[in-house]
Structure 1
Amino acid sequence: MAIGKIQLQSIQQAQRLLEVQRAAYLVEAKLIGSSAIPALQEDLEALQNSDEIFYGCWIDGELAGAISYKREGSLLDIYRLVVHPSYFRRGIGKALVSFVEEVEEGIERIIVSTGARNLPAKRLYEVLGFSEIGERGHTGTVDYAF
């Protein structure tokens, strides 16, 4: 397992990220009963124009998962945490969050959101020490902070 920055300017890396993202979010869409996940509708151009910071986890040369975030001062906001279904339950999500915590110095607070019915993601965030800080009933989204 190797974690490194994803170069969105590389069509090959961005395309693979898009594939991993779609596969992961299709699973979440089934769990939460809604396909209204913006990243499912994203195309290659929109992804390449994102202002998020992306890191990927590669296993045997294949992109298995990715994390993206934005940072404002000491706040880190995780926008995406995706793992291809072929690589579920191998610690990739945990490794990506832990990696970002290490590389981003001076972080005092990390926030992330997930679907209220996405139990695997909710368990992951709780195992990582995040606390639920609220639920947005109209969207079925749960917010976590660390």
Structure 2
Amino acid sequence: MAHVSHQLLDAITTAVTGLPTTGDRVRQSRLYAHGRGPALNIRLGERRNTATLGNALVNAEQDIFIDIAVAGTAESIDDQLLQIESEIHQALMADYSLGLPFVLDLNPQGLSEPDLEQAEKPKAVATSAWRYVIRHRLTDLES
């Protein structure tokens, strides 16, 4: 069995692959490396233990970040980002547990301000942040 955070990352990647706007341009990466956009990069954030239950289980919060990369006219960038954010929201909230028995809850954290690159065809990246509440065994991280 894989680490709970890796299982979660894989499930999110599957859930957002095939969205109407980004299609299969989805990667698990800390670096934007797509040849064309719009595209998504999914990456792990901090995992914080929040409670130990009866010396057997641990509740934790796992942050996941989805970087949304778009390009187009300056006037269309915000519309593209908001459309993709909506598609991600629908995909992840359809089943907040993503079929994973250790996921207890999901708290969407919002969308960052876009980081805009000035060019002939402007590009922007904004980050959609998600906080998952998970539970794993005290003795390992593969539950």
Common fold, TM-score beyond 0.5?
Answer: no
Instruction: Report the structure, 1 or 2, having the larger strand content.
Output: 2
- Which structure has the larger Rg over C-alpha atoms? 2
TM-score normalized by structure 1? 0.29
Higher RCO (CA < 8 A, seq sep 6+) = 2
Structure ranking higher in helix proportion: 1
Superposition TM-score, scaled by structure 2 size: 0.29
